[in-house]
Amino acid sequence: MSPLNIAIILRSRIVARFLLVLLFAVPWAMTSTGLMAQSQSSQQPAPSATPTPANAPAEAGGPTGDIGPIAVPKKKEEEPKKDEAPKAPKKTEGMDNFSMRVSSQLVTLDVGVLSKEGTFIPNLKKEYFRVLEDNVPQTIASFSQIQAPITAVMLVEFSNNQYFYSFQIDSIRSSYVFAQTLKKDDWIAMISFDLKPHLLQDFTQDKGALVGAIRSLQPGMAMSQETNVFDALYDTLDRLENVEGRKYIILVTSGRDSFSKHTLDQTLKKVQASHDIAIYVISTGQALRNYAESHGFLGYLCSVNELACNMTFLQADNQMKTIAKMTGGKFYAPLFEASFKDAVLDIGQTIRNQYAISYHPTNTAQDGTFRKIKVELVDESGKPLKMKDQKGKDVKYQIVAREGYKAKQQVE
């Protein structure tokens, strides 16, 4: 190919990118002021709980919520077994009495049970839950329904590459919307990343400080063109290891990785080894990608040496979906401003309303292996639990929980 042809191709790419930027920059310029104003406004009081209708099914008595009362088969009442005192071991002549204590690992799960519409289904009983570890049933040691403050890190991609403007706008929009959902007892930190992660705000309960960190993300002002998402996620997981309790990462990203030092495989192993961390991914640039693909411009969103740009983005989506699923989180691909709000509200509802389940695993080996976990809802016969709404129709539900954990490694 002659130098003249190369110059013509490069110039056409620049023009196309400029047009795409204009297409998605104008709507942002019209709405950015509104987003900033909304972020400073006080939160609206939460709506009161929906009262149980008088015509609720007699066999209900289980979950009630935004989708109405739900009927579940009642368990047979069983008399509690009397506690029997353990018999003392027989004393062996010539040997002193001794005692031994065995420390057993405790596995804690946060489990969400959501309707088809994404609404949390409350008031389910412990007896309906079955936990399997490597297909072996486990005995639930403790169980409760919780609605607690959250500890979360907003990990936001903000790079200055050839398609930066639309993706940056999506990152800022997601951050502002999430800030509006915060409550006074929540602890939130914010990290942006391009070539490297940048700590914009350490853990704080000050909503104003978080909004200030978001305002520092000015479109067009990013320092680097690279997006090393694997390194940024790896670093964030390291930062959270010493933070007690349940933690969440809200990862706002296109999913594309430039040249991280950590590979995908290393990152997945790091995610598997993490404890008490759930990752929720909000994908950016979906609207731009769809428009570019339908108008034959998708190739301009990738570098010249990427021949299959569509496959590049699909691979990035699949990688982010895998990371979210492994931790019991979810993946979102919002297209419009309203869908960004819906995604953030869904995340907030999911992580604030959950069932906390813990058990001592039957496999006590400290071998550092990965143990698969499966949570099911079952009736008294062990069959999948069926729930019905107030009209007698079946309620479809999904269970959100992490796929497993890495056992402790015994130190020699």
Among 68-72, 97-101, 395-399, the minimum mean pLDDT is found in: 97-101
Predicted local confidence at residue 133, as pLDDT: 97
* Segment (H or E) for 281: strand 277-283
Confidence of residue 16 (pLDDT cuts 50, 70, 90): very low
Neighbouring CB atoms inside 10 A of 78's CB total: 7
Could you report the per-residue pLDDT of 343-361, keeping only the tens digit for each? 988 888 888 888 999 999 9
Q: What CATH code is assigned to 3-36+149-352?
A: 3.40.50.410
> 400 is written with which tokens?
């959100």
Domain residue ranges in the chain: 3-36+149-352, 107-139+360-406
Mean local confidence (pLDDT), 201-225: 83
Q: How far apart are CA 5 and CA 383, in angstroms?
A: 67
Q: How far apart are CA 281 and CA 319, in angstroms?
A: 11
Residue 122: name the closest of 344, 279, 352, 330 by CA.
Answer: 352
Mean local confidence (pLDDT), 211-240: 85
Predicted local confidence at residue 29, as pLDDT: 43
- Asked if residue 371 has pLDDT above 60, the reply is yes
Q: How far apart are CA 154 and CA 49, in angstroms?
A: 29
Q: Which residue has the higher pLDDT, 133 or 95?
A: 133
Predicted local confidence at residue 318, as pLDDT: 95
Confidence of residue 43 (pLDDT cuts 50, 70, 90): very low
Angle at 134 between CA 131 and CA 140, to 5 degrees: 25
* Segment (H or E) for 272: helix 264-273
Going from the C-alpha of 389 to that of each of 61, 114, 346, 353, 380, the distances in angstroms are 12, 14, 21, 20, 20
Going from the C-alpha of 63 to that of each of 29, 30, 127, 195, 280, the distances in angstroms are 45, 43, 13, 47, 26
Predicted local confidence at residue 357, as pLDDT: 94
Among 111-125, 135-149, 152-166, the minimum mean pLDDT is found in: 152-166
Neighbouring CB atoms inside 10 A of 222's CB total: 22
Place of tokens 């420390």: 103
Confidence of residue 47 (pLDDT cuts 50, 70, 90): very low
Q: How far apart are CA 284 and CA 236, in angstroms?
A: 20
DSSP-derived letter for residue 162 is T
Among 40-49, 75-84, 364-373, the minimum mean pLDDT is found in: 40-49
Mean pLDDT of the chain: 77
Pairing mode, if any, of strands 187-193 and 140-147? Answer: unpaired
Q: How far apart are CA 114 and CA 330, in angstroms?
A: 12
Q: How far apart are CA 25 and CA 15, in angstroms?
A: 15
Cα atoms in the Cβ-side hemisphere of radius 13 Å centred on 162: 14
In one-letter notation, the amino acid at residue 406 is K
Confidence of residue 294 (pLDDT cuts 50, 70, 90): confident
Q: pTM value?
A: 0.65
Angle at 279 between CA 275 and CA 258, to 5 degrees: 110
Could you report the per-residue pLDDT of 54-96, keeping only the tens digit for each? 444 545 445 555 545 555 555 555 554 554 544 545 555 655 5
